[in-house]
Amino acid sequence: MNIHCILSVCALALQILAAAAASFSYNNSHFLLDGHPLQILGGQIDPQRVPREYWEHRIVMAKAMGLNTIFYYVFWNEFQPAPDKFDFAGMNDIAYFHHLVQKHELHAVLRLGPYVCGEHEWGGFPSWLSTVPAMAVRQNNEPFFNAVDHYVARLAQELSPYLAKNGGPILMVQVENEYGSCGTDHNYTTALTAVINRHFNGTTLYTNNAGEKMYLQRGQVQGILEEPEGQDPRPWNAFNATRMWVNPDSQGPLMAAEYHIAYTDSWGTQKNHHTPTEKSIETIREDMEYLLVNNHSFNIYMFHGGTNWGFQNGASVSSTVLTPSTTSYDYGAPLDESGRTTPIYHILRDLISKRSAGKEVLPDIPAEAPMIPIPDFKLKPIGPLLNLLPPVHHQSKSPMNMEVFGQSTGFILYRSNVSTSYNGTLKAGDKPRDRIMVFINGKFNGIIDAAQQNPKPVQLQLKSRDRLDLLVENLGRVNWGCPTMFDQRKGIVGNVTVGGKIIQDWDIYPMPLANPPRGSASPDRAAGPVIYEGVFELAKTGDTFLELPGWTRGVVWVNGANLGRYWNVGPQQSLYLPGCYLRRGPNEIQILELESEPAQTSRTARGVTVRKWGRSVAM
């Protein structure tokens, strides 16, 4: 093709793009799409929590319920795992996600943040921010804004074709997230808005905060729309009056930026049910009817929660106790973790259908593919984790945190062959940041656990030439709460002491365990972390829930995919295993059981079609 033809094709493409471009704005009472009022009927689906193979199904299910807009978080740490590396493949292929949204004639609202919370690892921040000198996240800080600018610029490259002004589905971009619950620095939010506006120029920006006067005042951003979130929408008319008084620039239509159907789960919660703040179905019906009748826009958080794959769950801190979020992000949503409808889905679909008063017929709900059972199968131990260490390790006089080695998640082992005797209480670093399993000469000797209210002190007696192993599991960086979330270095930060005496000279083994450990080791009978392997055969594939009867806590990989953590304290008692991760014939499974009993030479697992929730044992 000659240069003239190329130019003609480009000119035609630009003409088509310009013709398809949409004008999105708002006045005091309505969002406006090409000058016509638009009530945003939205629901949240975070693509990085859903297998790419299932994105289209989830989008179609949203449209079938009557939604016209997909809201979604994007997780910076997954897009930019290292300062010089971006990844937009697989579940990070955000351009393809928007292609599917547009294919099905839906709108999109990008909840960019870059802090998003979302019960995600560090609220979406990449761990390497901790290694940048003078870095201060969510603050008016030059190193932070340099990193944000680099990220937002690269994200905008991916998404530019999908902005409404360019003919795409993206109507709005959210700035920050619930900043009114964190700080009061309007210079920070103004500067952040400028960064996002520079790269998404011409796109409507908004921010969201809890619908109370204090959070409104703290989180407002002059010049952009501010919207409330929460569970009960009826007080939001009062919020609206307050919003106008606090921030006149925020005049505009009222939108429930997050209408919470239920809430997230955490490991070890005291209730057996997996939605501990669940409302009654009748209350949800009344709330949604109120929003629809009063022409308020909304975002159902979550429409479909999905899964915290691998080690991507976040955590929270109450007092000094770390509370990790579960692997499941089911959220009690209209579409459950496996993509199947719940009763609330049909209630909301009926409400939206009646509201349309015959103006629009909702699409049929796609038929649900059946879940499959997997009969009991056995796994055998291949060896203790401490005998399957990576070949590369580091030597240091003092312990060093994960981020120093470019590690974000998983485990890290600190090993010292002591040169003198020690006796007394073990202290590992400045504070308990996670869960530390302690071993002397390979024998389990106790746990330091930041998730326990009153952890029992670990007492050690070490002789010269004893080997001390400290295996640290990153339970999830804190995703909410300032200033707690500001310092989220993982591993051991500070010295290790026993009886007040500092232990020096460490071999440090980073073990991200994104993939299962390979190799073989003597499957000795020692208690502690053990890798198990097995194979199960399938005549057909389909979604299932993996049950691990008698197992305690650990991590599961199926055909190399990291399904996430399990823990018998509940409330989650099974792991979602998507059919797209399975294959006909033999399927490989590896499980790291962290608290293996020495007498067990094999264990059993199975797949079930109906999951159970509850608590197995107390923490």
Catalytic residues: 178, 258
Rounded CA-CA distance 14/17 in Å is 5
Are the beta carbons of 273 and 613 closer than 8 angstroms?
A: yes
What backbone torsions phi and psi does residue 212 show, to the nearest 5 degrees? -130, 150
CB atoms under 10 Å from CB of 534, counted, come to: 17
Give the residue from 42, 59, 49, 153 showing the smallest Cα distance to 98.
Answer: 59
CA–CA distances in Å: residue 200 to residues 93, 114, 223, 456: 19, 14, 15, 52
**Tokens linked to 285:** 């019906």
Number of neighbouring beta carbons within 10 Å of residue 431: 11
Q: Looking at the DSSP assignment, which residues form a beta bridge with residue 333?
A: none
List Cα–Cα distances, 195 to 188, 191, 289, 467, 597, in angstroms.
11, 6, 38, 51, 53
**Cα–Cα distance for residue pair 488/498, rounded to 1 Å:** 24
Q: Which two tokens stand for residue 143?
A: 């190193």
324 preceded by a cis bond (ω within 30 of 0): no
Angle between the N-to-C axes of helices 343-355 and 55-65, in degrees from 0 to 180, rounded to the nearest 10? 50
Q: Which residue has the tokens 């761990």?
A: 127
Question: Which tokens sit at 564?
Answer: 């996430």
In this structure, what token pair is assigned to residue 487? 């310092």
Residue among 228, 132, 130, 113 nearest 173 (CA): 113
